[in-house]
Amino acid sequence: MSEPPCATERDQGWIDQFHAGDSSAFDALINHYGPWVARIIRRLGIPASDVPDLTQETFADVLNGLPSFRGDASFKTWLARITIRRVRKHRRWRWVRRLWLGTLSVEPAQTADGVVDSESLLLERERAALLRDAVARLPDMYREVIVLRYFEEIDVAEMAKMLHISRATADMRLSRGREMLRKYLALENE
C-alpha cells in the first residue's frame, strides 16, 4: 500500500489539474482549505458574520492568482498571504465605512449554545473569552503573528514567509505580542 502524498504533492496535483482545465481541482482546494481559511479569518478578529464572505473573497483572489502561482512557497503559505491581505483590506474598508458613517459597527453578543452546569466549564469559557478579547485588542501586526503561531501552530520561519517579514521581525512581534497579551490579561484579572 503506498503512502498518501504529502500536502505539497497533493496541492501541486490539484494546481496542475486546475492548469489543465479541471475546475473540480479548484473545488478540491476550496473543500480542503476553506475551513482553515475561515478559522484564520475569525481568529484575526473578524466578526463571525463577515467570515463566510471574506472566505469566498479570499478564494476569488486565489482563483485570479492561481494561473501565476510559481510555487516559490508552499500553496498553504501563499494562501495564508492572500488571506491576511484580504483581512487587511476588509479592515481598511470597515475603517473607511465607519469614518463615512460616523458609527462603529458592533458584533452581536455571542450566546451560549446550551445550559452550563459545570463551574469549571464556565470558568474555562470565561478565560477563553478573555483571551479572545485580549487577542482582538492587539494591533494587527501582533495579532497576526499570535494567531498564526499559537492558534494555527505555524512555525516562525513559515510565518515570516507568509507575512513577508524576516524571521527576526517575526520573533520580535511574537515577543511584543505576548507581552501585550500578558498586560491585557493582567488588567482583566484585577
Domain that holds residue 175: 110-190
* C-alpha to C-alpha distance for 73 and 59, rounded to whole angstroms: 18
Last residue of a domain, one of 108, 143, 158: 108
The beta-carbon contacts of 158-164 under 8 Å, at least 24 apart in sequence, are 158/74, 158/77, 161/73, 161/77, 162/73, 162/77, 162/80, 162/81, 162/84, 163/81, 163/84, 164/81
What's the pLDDT tens digit per position in 103-124? 333 333 334 454 444 676 677 7
* C-alpha to C-alpha distance for 188 and 135, rounded to whole angstroms: 13
Q: Are residues 10 and 75 in the same domain?
A: yes
Count of domains observed in the chain: 2
Last residue of a domain, one of 79, 108, 137: 108
Q: Are residues 36 and 125 in the same domain?
A: no
What's the pLDDT tens digit per position in 175-184? 999 899 889 8
Q: Are residues 2 and 70 in the same domain?
A: yes
Give the global pTM: 0.60
Instruction: Decide which of 84 and 128 is more confident.
Output: 84
Last residue of a domain, one of 108, 137, 161: 108
Write down the mean pLDDT value for the chain.
Answer: 82
Most confident of 45-49, 69-73, 94-98: 45-49
